């Protein structure tokens, strides 16, 4: 019983760290998300895009990407979303928004998140479209 209790405790303590994983940020020549106006413009673009692509069912390894014009800092917001599962998976509007907005809120201009079960999101701010 003593060892079982320790195992359960170890798992319980590890789960919050996994759930609170932060996006990976990369250095960027432009940093529009450093300021509220840039984050707000990016969030507005993310809202519009996620409302258009979700809810939907993604095939295994299916990827969607878009380049949006935004009204702050650099002109373009490049977004990627990929189902990294080896099976079909459903993407909700809320999940799409939360994953991409977490990148914008955590990074200054470029970032990605691959810590969420089966989904990869990437946001890249630039003066040109790269997708």
pLDDT digits (tens, 9 = 90+) for 91-104: 999 999 999 999 99
How many domains does the chain contain in total?
1
- Whether pLDDT at 116 is above 90: no
Helix axis angle, 93-106 relative to 36-53, nearest 10°? 160
Burial class of residue 56 (count of CB atoms within 10 Å of its CB; 0-12, 13-18, 19+): middle
For residue 130, the model assigns a pLDDT of 81
**Residues 66-92: what's their mean pLDDT?**
88
Which position has the higher pLDDT, 10 or 93?
93
17 within domain boundaries: no
10 within domain boundaries: no
For residue 72, the model assigns a pLDDT of 65
Q: Which of 36-40, 58-62, 112-116, 126-130 has the highest mean pLDDT?
A: 58-62
Cα 92 from Cα 114, distance rounded (Å): 17
Helices (H), 1-81: 2-19, 36-53
For residue 70, the model assigns a pLDDT of 83
6 within domain boundaries: no
63 within domain boundaries: yes
Q: What global pTM score does this model have?
A: 0.79
92 within domain boundaries: yes
Q: Using one digit for the tens of pLDDT, what is the confidence trace for 14-62?
A: 444 344 578 999 988 788 899 999 899 999 999 999 999 999 999 999 9
Cα 40 from Cα 84, distance rounded (Å): 28
73 within domain boundaries: yes
Residue percentage of the chain with pLDDT more than 90: 61
113 within domain boundaries: yes
- Range of 92's domain? 23-126
4 within domain boundaries: no
């Amino acid at each position: 019983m003593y060892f079982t209790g320790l195992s359960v405790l170890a798992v319980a303590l590890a789960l919050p760290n996994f759930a609170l994983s932060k996006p990976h940020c990369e250095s960027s020549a432009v940093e529009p998300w450093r300021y509220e106006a840039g984050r707000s413009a990016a969030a507005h673009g993310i809202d519009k895009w996620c409302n258009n692509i979700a809810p939907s069912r993604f095939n295994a390894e299916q990827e969607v990407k878009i380049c949006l014009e935004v009204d702050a800092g650099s002109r373009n917001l490049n977004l990627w979303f990929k189902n990294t599962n080896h099976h079909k998976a459903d993407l909700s509007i809320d999940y799409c928004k939360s994953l991409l907005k977490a990148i914008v809120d955590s990074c200054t201009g470029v970032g990605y998140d691959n810590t969420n079960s089966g989904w990869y999101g990437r946001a890249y701010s630039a003066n040109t479209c790269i997708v």
